[in-house]
Amino acid sequence: MTSQKSWTADRIPDQEGRVFVVTGANSGLGLATTRALARKGAQVILAVRDEEKGRRAVAQVTAEGSGARLEVRRLDLSDPDSVRAFADRLRADGVRPDVLVNNAGLMAPPRTLTAQGQEVQFAANHLGHFALTGLLLDLLARGEDPRVVTVTSANHRMGRIFFDDPTGERTYSPMAYYNQSKLANAVFGRELHRRLSAAGSPVRSVLAHPGYTATGLQTAAPVGLVKFLFGRLLLPLAQTPDRGALPQLYAATAEEVRGGELYGPDGMGELRGAPKRVELAPRAADPATAARLWELSEELTGVRYALPAAA
């Protein structure tokens, strides 16, 4: 078994012939993930909202001389039509992904609703990834060592699902609704594992969190105190994206990874360090919460999984 304590991206096994879809791959953790996988021979599809930024990311990785096989495809996770179009194009083009890395995220903006009337963090961070995974699941099941890696946050432990106010009309707080979306990621990843196991599927559903990592997440959307705190005051404590991406890379490639588990940094407070298995919040593994969130997610996305509910 690989020693997690000393695990770095250099220890990623050869990925030649494998296809990865990485959401939010043009910057931050997604770009670091793409770069590391490309160095190991993987074909990476950069699923990004801004194709021009995606092309710049491809040029950056290609210039590093990895011989990377990279492709940019547009995906706006907050738009159900964009999610379906992305999945339909992959299918039409005969692309068979082996691993889906649900990485993209939005953090603590002012209250914003999507065109479909959903709170944007819940829509982009959770609902979009729920729908994308469901639409690609049959393709993934035919892959080599297939996995779904959903990136959550240590903040999931502070979250709750606002089932009585999912759009934040009455109770919106930027960080509370960010924490909701990260708890939803954790609940989804764990429940997906249970349902895949019940179905006898070869796909592994794994969770990862990056600790405290310096990315555009802390500065692109937050305002006020949240932006000052995470995007400036505490930033010197953050690790680099290359280090922050290690847990999701480990989850996506290490042989010993088990479905349903969460991997995060091994340092104090899980803020930084090498990847290790860490504990999920109890509410993330609560069957009643999972069943209720799954039902709501299917209702809001229109995507229904051909998987039995876990006993």
| Within a domain: 4 | no
| Within a domain: 75 | yes
Which residue, among 52, 53, 60, 54, has the nearest Cα to 35 in the 3D structure?
60
CATH of the domain at 45: 3.40.50.720
pLDDT at position 3 is: 40
Strand intervals (E) in 198-304: 204-208, 262-265, 275-278
pLDDT at position 63 is: 93
Task: Provide the residue range defining the domain that includes 265.
Answer: 11-301
The C-alpha atoms of residue 17 and residue 7 are separated, in whole angstroms, by 23
Does position 217 have pLDDT exceeding 90, yes or no? Answer: no
Structural domain count, the chain? 1
Instruction: Return the structure tokens found at 158.
Output: 């502070």
| Cβ atoms 38, 254 nearer than 8 A | no
SS3 state of residue 136: helix
| Cβ atoms 209, 252 nearer than 8 A | no
pLDDT bucket at 1, cuts 50 / 70 / 90:
very low
pTM value surpassing 0.95: no
| Within a domain: 306 | no
pLDDT at position 13 is: 97
Instruction: Look up 250 and say whether it is catalytic.
Output: no
| Within a domain: 90 | yes
The C-alpha atoms of residue 85 and residue 74 are separated, in whole angstroms, by 9
What is the per-residue pLDDT across 30-72, written as a single tens digit (0 to 9) for each? Answer: 999 999 999 999 999 999 999 999 999 999 999 987 678 999 9
**Which amino acid does the sequence have at 23?**
T
Q: What value does the mean pLDDT take over residues 146-158?
A: 98
Which residue, among 221, 229, 124, 115, has the nearest Cα to 182 in the 3D structure?
124
pLDDT at position 308 is: 83
pLDDT at position 215 is: 67
Q: Which residues contact 230 (CB under 8 A, 6 or more apart)?
A: 107, 218, 222
Among the options 177, 178, 250, 305, which is catalytic? Answer: 178
pLDDT bucket at 194, cuts 50 / 70 / 90:
very high
| Within a domain: 311 | no
Does position 213 have pLDDT exceeding 90, yes or no? Answer: no
Instruction: Return the structure tokens found at 172.
Output: 């919106």
pLDDT at position 77 is: 98
| Within a domain: 309 | no
pLDDT bucket at 2, cuts 50 / 70 / 90:
very low
The C-alpha atoms of residue 205 and residue 276 are separated, in whole angstroms, by 16
Buried b (16+ CB within 10 A) or exposed e, 173-202: ebbbbbbbbbbbbbbbbbbbbbbbbebebe
| Cβ atoms 54, 160 nearer than 8 A | no
Does position 169 have pLDDT exceeding 60, yes or no? Answer: yes
Q: Which residues contact 142 (CB under 8 A, 6 or more apart)?
A: 96
The C-alpha atoms of residue 78 and residue 91 are separated, in whole angstroms, by 21
pLDDT at position 228 is: 46
